[in-house]
Chains A and B, each alone.
Chain A
Amino acid sequence: MQKKRVVLNYPTHLVDQPIISNLVKDYDLMVNISRARITPREEGRLVLEITGKRAGLDAGFKYLHEIGVEVQPLAQDVKWHENRCTHCTACISICPTKALDVDRKDMEVSFLRDKCIACELCIPVCPYQAMEILF
């Protein structure tokens, strides 16, 4: 089993299609939706965690590509501007997945992309606008 965190970009004409349902039924994938923003006459964006067998994932991503859904790894959409971070730790108690974490010995903050679920809780909490999520 493999797990991938991705952002799906839907063109307008696909917004009314049951694409996630197809991923589950036809490719035997487990899908966990973290965020979704799909409105009529607008492109849709979906943040997903997809789990499945290697072959199912590959076929599922091929299907998405063929119908015109653009797939990006989640990491590309979440930015930690390290030069803006002061390592104050304001974000540490709010981050639910420890994607933002602190080494307690040095009190140095780090950001682990793979753990981030793009929940955006850190955005209003960071006084230095060090976190940016492009949606």
Chain B
Amino acid sequence: MVKTIEEINEKIRKGKAVVFTAEEIIEYAAEKGVKKAAQEVDVVTTGTFGPMCSSGAYFNIGHTKPRIKLGGGKTYLNDVPVYVGFAAVDFFLGATAMPDDDPRNKIFPGKFSYGGANIIEELVAGKDVRLTATAYGTDCYPRKSLETYISLKDMNEAVLFNMRNAYQNYNVAVNLSDKVIYTYMGVLQPKMGNANYCSAGQLSPLLNDPFYKTIGIGTRIFLGGGIGYVVGSGTQHNPDVKRTEGGVPKMTAGTLAVKGDLKMMSPKWLRGTSFTGYGVTLTVGIGVPIPILNEEFLRYTMVRDEEIWAQVVDYSEAYPQFIPGSLGEVNYKQLKSGRIPIQGKEIPTSGLSSYFKAREIAQILKEWIDAGKFFLTKPVEPLPSVDSGIVFKPLKERPIKKK
């Protein structure tokens, strides 16, 4: 039996849609059988809550009297610089931006306790932030400086716009060297003292739709506690990688670019995050609904942690020096058990992506659909898949000749 998005939305409207989370569906479909479950179930909800550095937000703060053109000058929110290379009062705040006078890693390892991501969290919490700006002044925009408190409700637009989120699978990070290293994968103890992973595994959005058959441009999603949309594949989207027989990528693969109205979001699901010795980042909550239009789509959502494999990568040498290779493969059931075997050694594991919160997101999205508050969308364009010919290129440096 084949269903359509329209039919599912009609059921949602009538309060009759059958919705499961990507965790619940595993047992249910195994018990009922794929055929029966695919007939009964309309939507499977996914979730993920992890640090996602390529995130940020753009704002329009409204015109001042007299007018100022921020573009070409310097603008800060709570001393964190924002990008103003646009028209008069638009700017972009990046999650990893930090105050000019933050000591960074001068005293190693740096704490990175405050940056763009924290401002996003504070704004979403309804707090005031300090906006300070200097500009060069023009005939039409004469003003040269501005200092004011501002909050989200004062702004015309506040839009979360993340160019790469929800990575389909990720590396497991270890440290082969004999000293502690501080990475975006956390603090890694020497001689493989620990292994850190970062995926919601069987709950993760793109691991439940491995070939991007339902998720595409225009897919409506849970984003940061509000409603957002997939605006395309994210940067570094790399679908043509080694996969299991079930089609699940065994390494980093697809990504999503997403956007949503920041004013509708919650500080619970957008969290400023500090990685010692590395920097500031934003932990983003994302939930994507998968419409069960046929048996094939259902089968993808039945993926279990033990069927999702990740590559173990050394972050002391291989990763920083861009040397390809893996120390081995482990699956998410092993990772979540707290210990993994690598090269004959038992290594304790830690997560960076919260499975506990991912489940909560999938549950909230399910409740929204059950309550008739959230409807599914048909993508206007699919994401590039394995046959797209996309090649993930390194930067080929071409030295600049000195004159």
Q: What are the residues of chain B within 8 A of A94 when measuring CB–CB? A: 187, 189, 194, 350
B352 within 8 A of A: yes
B354 within 8 A of A: yes
In chain A, residues 113-127, which have Cβ atoms closer than 8 Å to a Cβ of chain B? Answer: 124-125, 127
- What is the CB-to-nearest-CB distance from B315 to chain A, in angstroms, rounded to a whole number? 15
Say which residue of B49, B187, B337, B356 sits within 8 Å of A108 (CB atoms).
Answer: B356
A51 within 8 A of B: no
Cα A87 to Cα B268 with chains together (Å): 13
**Residue contact A102 to B276, C-beta cutoff 8 Å:** no
- What is the CB-to-nearest-CB distance from A107 to chain B, in angstroms, rounded to a whole number? 4
- What is the CB-to-nearest-CB distance from A88 to chain B, in angstroms, rounded to a whole number? 4
**Residue contact B273 to A127, C-beta cutoff 8 Å:** yes
**Residue contact A124 to B109, C-beta cutoff 8 Å:** yes
B186 within 8 A of A: yes
Q: What are the residues of chain A within 8 A of B113 when measuring CB–CB? A: 129
- What is the CB-to-nearest-CB distance from B331 to chain A, in angstroms, rounded to a whole number? 15
Which residue of chain A has its CB nearest to the CB of B198?
A88
A104 within 8 A of B: yes
Q: What are the residues of chain A within 8 A of B276 when measuring CB–CB? A: 124-125
A86 within 8 A of B: yes
The interface centre, meaning the residue of A86, A91, A109 with most chain B CB atoms within 10 A of its CB, is: A86
Say which residue of A86, A90, A128, A129 sits within 8 Å of B186 (CB atoms).
Answer: A90
**Given A106-B356, A124-B276 in contact, is the A86-B336 Cβ separation under 8 Å?**
no
B168 within 8 A of A: no
**Residue contact A104 to B186, C-beta cutoff 8 Å:** no
Q: What are the residues of chain A within 8 A of B169 when measuring CB–CB? A: none
Which residue of chain A has its CB nearest to the CB of B180?
A124
**Residue contact A90 to B273, C-beta cutoff 8 Å:** no
**Residue contact B356 to A87, C-beta cutoff 8 Å:** yes
A interface footprint on B350-364 (CB within 8 Å = 1, 0 otherwise): 111111110100000
Cα A125 to Cα B277 with chains together (Å): 10
**Given A104-B337, A107-B336, A128-B271 in contact, is the A90-B348 Cβ separation under 8 Å?**
no
Q: What are the residues of chain A within 8 A of B50 when measuring CB–CB? A: 88
For chain A, give the interface size range.
Answer: 20 to 34
In chain B, residues 293-349, which have Cβ atoms closer than 8 Å to a Cβ of chain A? Answer: 336-338, 348-349
**Given A86-B283, A91-B350, A104-B338 in contact, is the A127-B355 Cβ separation under 8 Å?**
no
A92 within 8 A of B: yes
A93 within 8 A of B: yes
Q: What are the residues of chain B within 8 A of A104 when measuring CB–CB? A: 336-338
Cα A71 to Cα B77 with chains together (Å): 44
B171 within 8 A of A: no
Cα A90 to Cα B353 with chains together (Å): 9
- What is the CB-to-nearest-CB distance from A93 to chain B, in angstroms, rounded to a whole number? 4
B20 within 8 A of A: no
- What is the CB-to-nearest-CB distance from A123 to chain B, in angstroms, rounded to a whole number? 9
Cα A66 to Cα B277 with chains together (Å): 45
Q: What are the residues of chain A within 8 A of B187 when measuring CB–CB? A: 94, 124-125
Q: What are the residues of chain B within 8 A of A108 when measuring CB–CB? A: 356
Cα A102 to Cα B337 with chains together (Å): 10
- What is the CB-to-nearest-CB distance from B298 to chain A, in angstroms, rounded to a whole number? 25
Cα A87 to Cα B350 with chains together (Å): 11
Cα A64 to Cα B289 with chains together (Å): 62
A interface footprint on B256-276 (CB within 8 Å = 1, 0 otherwise): 000000000000000101111
**Given A104-B336, A125-B186, A127-B186 in contact, is the A86-B357 Cβ separation under 8 Å?**
yes
B interface footprint on A96-108 (CB within 8 Å = 1, 0 otherwise): 0000001010111
**Given A93-B194, A104-B337, A125-B276 in contact, is the A88-B271 Cβ separation under 8 Å?**
no
**Given A87-B356, A107-B356 in contact, is the A93-B350 Cβ separation under 8 Å?**
yes
A residues sitting closer than 8 Å to B (CB atoms) are: 86-94, 102, 104, 106-109, 124-125, 127-129
Identify 24 residue pairs between A and B in the complex whose beta-carbon atoms are under 8 Å apart, listed by A's number: A86-B271, A86-B354, A87-B357, A89-B351, A89-B354, A90-B186, A90-B350, A90-B351, A93-B194, A93-B196, A102-B338, A104-B336, A107-B336, A107-B354, A107-B356, A108-B356, A124-B111, A125-B276, A127-B273, A127-B283, A128-B271, A128-B273, A128-B274, A129-B274
